[in-house]
Amino acid sequence: MREALSSERDGRSRLLESMDSVDAWRPGRGTAESATSDQTPTKDESDPASDTPPERSGTGFLLEAVTGSTVVLCLAASLLHVLLVFLHVAPPNAVSERYSSQINGWIYPLFEQSWRLFAPDPESVTRQISARTMHTSPDGTQQVSDWFDLTAVDESAVEHNFFPSHTTQNMLRRAWTSYLELHGSDDRSNSERALMVQKYLRNIAANRVAGHRGGTFEAIQLQVITRPIAAPGAASSTDGAVPEPPAETRYLPWWKTGPDEN
């Protein structure tokens, strides 16, 4: 009995071994194992190419170049501005005297420096600046407009305004005071800066007249009425009223306007 059972067990063992050997040589089993091994690759620690970052695209490289160039230009412009302002406010020296025309061309009129914040110079006169224009009709006749009060426009923009702009308060006034400092009674521009200030004043007047009145014109003229401000404690008349100081009226020459007159 025992011998029969033992022989049966030996037969089953040989059968299982023969089945395993047949499965080991099947093509499908080897392909599945190779596919599994291909799906889970191992990283080669010794390969330096595996640590190389991906290459940047052309658009990204161009964007970085443009950004870098813009930053460099902004820094250069800022340093140049600071240097020119320093040379302008510094005491006269060899560098500022040699490059005075370049320094003044950069500073005036937009970056003009003044110490009046620390030593104010109050106005002793009031000025009324008006403008009129001239237009040549197709038949050749010249038409001159009425006077347009530029100062009144600025005063109306400042009155009852808690936060008036710098433009309405100072642009026209500072343009006229700069013109007085650089021009004599003959209104001749004897320097490049004087010519620039003359054009600056003319453009301000032309733009404001065109903005409020419209129309076309080829020339513009300014009229400036200067009235001194009476000093405190001035002598009054018998009725108690302070006499008004005499006014001075000045007419500037006709200035051409248009795209060719910058």
Of the listed ranges 25-34, 213-222, 225-234, the least confidently predicted one is 25-34
Quick check: helix, strand or coil at residue 7? helix
**Structure-block tokens of residue 245:** 């100081």
Asked if the model's pLDDT at residue 4 lies above 70, the reply is: no
Cα first-last separation, the chain: 128
The answer to whether the CB of 87 falls within 8 A of the CB of 103 is: yes
Tokens 């059972």: give the residue: 5
Best mean pLDDT range from 28-32, 60-64, 171-175:
171-175
| Residue 172 domain boundaries | 125-230+244-256
Residue 209 located in a structural domain: yes
> Residue 254: its pLDDT value, please?
96
> Of 170, 157, 165, 187, whose CA–CA distance to 109 is shortest?
170
What is the pairing mode between strands 219-228 and 148-149?
unpaired
Predicted confidence band of residue 10 (pLDDT cuts 50, 70, 90): low
The answer to whether the CB of 125 falls within 8 A of the CB of 229 is: yes
> What would the mean pLDDT of 103-125 be, rounded to a whole number?
75
> Of 201, 214, 177, whose CA–CA distance to 255 is shortest?
201
Residue 225 located in a structural domain: yes
Quick check: helix, strand or coil at residue 202? helix
Predicted confidence band of residue 237 (pLDDT cuts 50, 70, 90): low
What is the pairing mode between strands 142-144 and 148-149?
unpaired
pTM of the model: 0.59
> Residue 132: its pLDDT value, please?
96
Residue 48 located in a structural domain: no
Domain boundary among 63, 95, 120: 120
Domain count of the chain? 2
Indicate the DSSP class of residue 169. Answer: I
**Structure-block tokens of residue 244:** 């008004």
Say which residue, 165 or 74, is predicted with more confidence: 74
Same-domain pairing of 109 and 162: no
Same-domain pairing of 111 and 225: no
> Residue 209: its pLDDT value, please?
94
**Structure-block tokens of residue 163:** 């936060």
Same-domain pairing of 138 and 250: yes
Same-domain pairing of 157 and 195: yes
Residue 146 located in a structural domain: yes
Residue 171 located in a structural domain: yes
> Residue 80: its pLDDT value, please?
93
Residue 10 located in a structural domain: no
> Of 240, 244, 256, whose CA–CA distance to 205 is shortest?
256
Alpha-carbon radius of gyration of the chain: 44
Same-domain pairing of 208 and 136: yes
Same-domain pairing of 149 and 249: yes
Domain boundary among 120, 137, 153: 120
> Residue 35: its pLDDT value, please?
47
Same-domain pairing of 136 and 220: yes
pLDDT digits (tens, 9 = 90+) for 125-167: 899 999 999 999 888 889 999 999 999 999 999 988 888 888 8
CA distances from 237 to 34, 234, 240, 243 (A): 119, 10, 5, 7
- In percent, the amount of the chain with pLDDT more than 90 equals 33
Indicate the DSSP class of residue 140. Answer: S
Mean pLDDT of the chain: 79
> What would the mean pLDDT of 232-251 be, rounded to a whole number?
70
Q: Find all residues with CB under 8 Å of 87, minimum gap 6, and list them.
A: 93, 95, 96, 99, 103
Residue 62 located in a structural domain: no
> Of 255, 258, 9, whose CA–CA distance to 132 is shortest?
255
Same-domain pairing of 180 and 248: yes
Side chain identity at residue 86, one-letter code: F
Domain boundary among 65, 87, 120: 120
Residue 239 located in a structural domain: no
In angstroms, the CA 46 to CA 58 distance is 30
Same-domain pairing of 116 and 192: no
Same-domain pairing of 193 and 106: no
Same-domain pairing of 153 and 209: yes
Same-domain pairing of 251 and 136: yes
